Structure 1
C-alpha cells in the first residue's frame, strides 16, 4: 500500500469508524496483557502507559465525533495534511503535453508584488481542456477559504476538485480554472479580505492574484470571465469584493457568509470591525459594507449565488437582508436555503456543487443555466 493509497482511505464510512473502534479496543486489551507482572497484576508503568493510551483514544474518538458533524476531513490524507494525490509541481504542470482524464492540482507561491502581503502557498486546479495546444484562454473561479482555515480546505472538506472533475467530465473537459489563494496569512488569522492591519489583502486578491494567474496559466483577463466565491469568511469576502470591483468579477458565490466584514461571528457587531479592521474609520467600513454598497449604486451584469443552511442563524439572517437588496440593485441573484444544514463543510461542499453549473455558465465555461433552482 502506497502513501497515496493510504491517504485516500475514506474515514467517514461506517466500516472505517467501526473498524477503528475494534482496533482501539484491541490496543487497550493488548497493552493491558503485555504490562502485567508475574503475579498477573498490571505494573505501575503499565498503568501509566495504559491511561495515556486510553486518553489518546478518547481524544481521537472525540475528534472523530466532531469531524462527523463538520465533515471537514474526508480521508486519512486530509487528517495527515498530505497534498492531493494528483498534485504536481508547477514546472511539471506547465511542461505536460498530454491531456489527462481529470483536472490536475498544483501548489504555487503567489507573490504579493503590489500588496506586499505574504500569503501561504495557493492551490490551483486546471481542467483537462487547459492542456490543449495552443493553450486555451479559460475563465477563472477564485475560491476563498474561511477562518480558521487554509487554501487546501477547498480541496479537502470542500471537495472542489472532485466536483470540478465531475463538471469537466460532463462538458468535454472544460471548466473554469480554480484558484485558491490564501486570505489570512495564518491558520487563525481573520483579515476579512480588506487592506487592514494584517496586510493589504484586498489589493492582493484584486491585483496580485489576477496578474499572476493570467501570466502563468494563460487565463482570461479579469472581468466577465472571472468569478469569486467563498465559504464563511470567504463568502462575505466574495460578496464584498464583487461589489467593490464589478469590473474584475462578473459573478460571485457567497456560501454562509455574514453581512459583511466582521471581526467576530455576528452581523450586529460592526463596532469591532470598525476598530479592528478599519482603524476606527466608519467611513472606510461603510465603503466595504455590502448593504451600503447595494444602496448606493446599481450592478447591471453582475450575478450572485447565495447559499445557507437554515440551522445557521447569522448567515441566514445576513442572506435575508442582502438578497433582496442585491435584487433591487439589479444583480441576477440565486438563493438556496438548505433545510437542517449548519455552518459545516456539508453545506459548503453542497453549495459549491449546487452553484458550479450556474457560475460556469455565466463565465462561458459551459452551457448557460438561465434560471436558479
Structure 2
C-alpha cells in the first residue's frame, strides 16, 4: 500500500477501532512473551516497560474513541497533517488551464490589509467550473471554524470539499467557491468574530476577505452572491455578520452556534462577553446580539439555515429562540434539528451537506430550492 493509501484509511469506523484494540492486545502479549523468553523472569525494568507501553496504547485507544465520537479526524492523513491529495499551491492553481474532474483546494495567506488582523493561512476550494476561460464569476460561501480550531477543520471533520464535489458533480461542475478563513489568530483564542481583544476580526471577515477573494479568484462581488456559514463559534459568527453586514452576506448558515457572541459556553453568560469581548460596553454588545438586531428592523433580504442536534443543549436552546425570531424579522429560514445529535463534526458535516443545495440556490450557483426540511423539536 502506498503512503497516500495509508493516509486515506478511515479511522472513525468500528472496524478500525476494533482492529486497533486487537493490535494493542497483541503488542502487549508479544512484549510480555519476549521479556519472559529472553530474561526468564520479569525484572523491574521489564515491568516498567510493559506498564509504559500499555499506558501509551490505552491513551491512543481512548483518543481514537473520542475522535470517532466527535468525527474530527476522518483519516490517518488528517491526523498526520497531510494535505488533501488534490491540494495545490496558489500560484499553480492560478496558472492551471485544464478543467479537473473534481474541485481543487489551495492554502494561501489572506492578509488583513484594512484590519491589521494577523490571521493564519486560509483554505480555498474552487469547483471544476472555476477553471473555464474566461474565468466565471462564481458565488462564494465563507465557512468559519470554531474554537479551538483552524480553517482546515472544514476539510477534515467538516468534509466541505467532498460535499462541494458531490454538488458540483450533479450540477455540471458548478458549485460555490468555498473560502475558509481564520477567525481567531491562534488555536485556542475566541474572537467571536468581533473587533475586540483578539484583533479586528469583524473588519477582517467583512472587508479584507471579500476584497482578496474577489481580486485573486475573480469571484462574484459580495452581496446576493455571497453567503457565510459556520460551526459552533463560527455559526453564531455567521448569523451576527449577516445581520450587521447584509450588503456583504445575503445568506447565512448557523450550525450549532450560541445565541450570539459569548466568551463562555452558555447563552446566559452575557456579562463575561461584555467584559472580555466589548471592553465593558453593554451598548457594543447589544449592537452584536442577534436577538436585539432582529428586533430592531426586518431583514427581508436575508436567508438563513439553522441546524443543530437536540442533544446539544445550549446551541439547541439558541436555535429555539433565534429561528422564530429570524422568521419574525422577515428572514427566509430553514431549520433542521438532528435527533440525538451532539456538538460533533458528524452534525456539522451533515449540516453543511443538508444546507448546501439551498444556499447554492440562493447565491446563484444552482437552481433555487424552494422547500425546506421539516424541523423536529
TM-score of the aligned structures, taking structure 2 as reference length: 0.97
In the alignment, structure 1 residue 301 sits paired with structure 2 residue 305: no
Corresponding residue SS for 1:308: strand
Residue in 1 aligned with 2:190?
A: 190
Residue in 2 aligned with 1:227?
A: 227
Residue in 2 aligned with 1:174?
A: 174
Residue in 2 aligned with 1:17?
A: 17
Question: Following the alignment from structure 1 to structure 2, what is the Cα–Cα distance between the partners of residues 42 and 209?
Answer: 62
Given that 1:102 and 1:165 are in contact with CA atoms closer than 8 Å, whether structure 2 keeps it comes out as yes
How far the C-alpha of 1:44 sits from its partner, in A, is 2.4
**Runs of at least 4 residues of structure 1 off by over 6 A?**
none
In the alignment, structure 1 residue 132 sits paired with structure 2 residue 135: no
Given that 2:127 and 2:177 are in contact with CA atoms closer than 8 Å, whether structure 1 keeps it comes out as yes
Deviates more, 1:120-129 or 1:80-89: 80-89
Question: Following the alignment from structure 1 to structure 2, what is the Cα–Cα distance between the partners of residues 19 and 264?
Answer: 38
Question: Following the alignment from structure 1 to structure 2, what is the Cα–Cα distance between the partners of residues 25 and 313?
Answer: 38
What do residues 128-170 of structure 1 show as CA deviations (whole Å, max 9, x unaligned)? 0000111110000000000111101000010111111000000
Corresponding residue SS for 1:53: helix
Deviates more, 1:160-169 or 1:6-15: 6-15
Question: Following the alignment from structure 1 to structure 2, what is the Cα–Cα distance between the partners of residues 4 and 213?
Answer: 30
Question: Following the alignment from structure 1 to structure 2, what is the Cα–Cα distance between the partners of residues 266 and 102?
Answer: 40
How far the C-alpha of 1:12 sits from its partner, in A, is 1.7
Pairing of 1:44-193 with structure 2 (within 5 A): 44-193=44-193
Give structure 2 stretches of 5+ with no counterpart. none
How far the C-alpha of 1:38 sits from its partner, in A, is 5.2
Give structure 1 stretches of 5+ with no counterpart. none
Question: Following the alignment from structure 2 to structure 1, what is the Cα–Cα distance between the partners of residues 11 and 125?
Answer: 24
How far the C-alpha of 1:256 sits from its partner, in A, is 0.4
Residue in 1 aligned with 2:201?
A: 201
How far the C-alpha of 1:174 sits from its partner, in A, is 0.1
Question: Following the alignment from structure 1 to structure 2, what is the Cα–Cα distance between the partners of residues 38 and 202?
Answer: 64
In the alignment, structure 1 residue 313 sits paired with structure 2 residue 313: yes
How far the C-alpha of 1:34 sits from its partner, in A, is 2.6
42 and 128 in structure 1: CA distance in 2 versus 1, 3 angstrom threshold: same
How far the C-alpha of 1:37 sits from its partner, in A, is 6.4
Given that 1:126 and 1:176 are in contact with CA atoms closer than 8 Å, whether structure 2 keeps it comes out as yes
Question: Following the alignment from structure 2 to structure 1, what is the Cα–Cα distance between the partners of residues 16 and 64?
Answer: 11
Residue in 2 aligned with 1:5?
A: 5
Question: Following the alignment from structure 1 to structure 2, what is the Cα–Cα distance between the partners of residues 129 and 103?
Answer: 8
Question: Following the alignment from structure 1 to structure 2, what is the Cα–Cα distance between the partners of residues 54 and 208?
Answer: 50
Question: Following the alignment from structure 1 to structure 2, what is the Cα–Cα distance between the partners of residues 356 and 39?
Answer: 62
Question: Following the alignment from structure 1 to structure 2, what is the Cα–Cα distance between the partners of residues 310 and 50?
Answer: 43
How far the C-alpha of 1:14 sits from its partner, in A, is 2.5
What do residues 156-190 of structure 1 show as CA deviations (whole Å, max 9, x unaligned)? 01011111100000000000000000001111110
Given that 1:259 and 1:319 are in contact with CA atoms closer than 8 Å, whether structure 2 keeps it comes out as yes
How far the C-alpha of 1:371 sits from its partner, in A, is 1.6
How far the C-alpha of 1:316 sits from its partner, in A, is 1.0
Corresponding residue SS for 2:36: coil
How far the C-alpha of 1:45 sits from its partner, in A, is 2.2
Aligned length: 373
How far the C-alpha of 1:13 sits from its partner, in A, is 2.1
